[in-house]
Amino acid sequence: YSVKPTCFRQSYLDIKSMLIDTFFGPSTEGVYSPSVQNTLYCMARAVLN
């Protein structure tokens, strides 16, 4: 962050939710990943965007 978050807990929960959504995908079908590296890349990209 360029500025300290006013509510760290909310930022933590938002990022955790993004990581869970990216890792697991939709509950009906999940997310196919050809490799662990791809999964980690997609998770990092979601947080940084």
Domain regions of the chain by residue span: 8-48
Residues 19, 29: Cα–Cα separation, whole Å: 17
* Amino acid 4: pLDDT: 73
- pLDDT digits over 20-42, tens only? 999 998 878 888 889 999 999 99
What is the reported pTM? 0.70
Q: Is the pLDDT of residue 15 over 80?
A: yes
* Amino acid 33: pLDDT: 86
Residues 14, 38: Cα–Cα separation, whole Å: 22
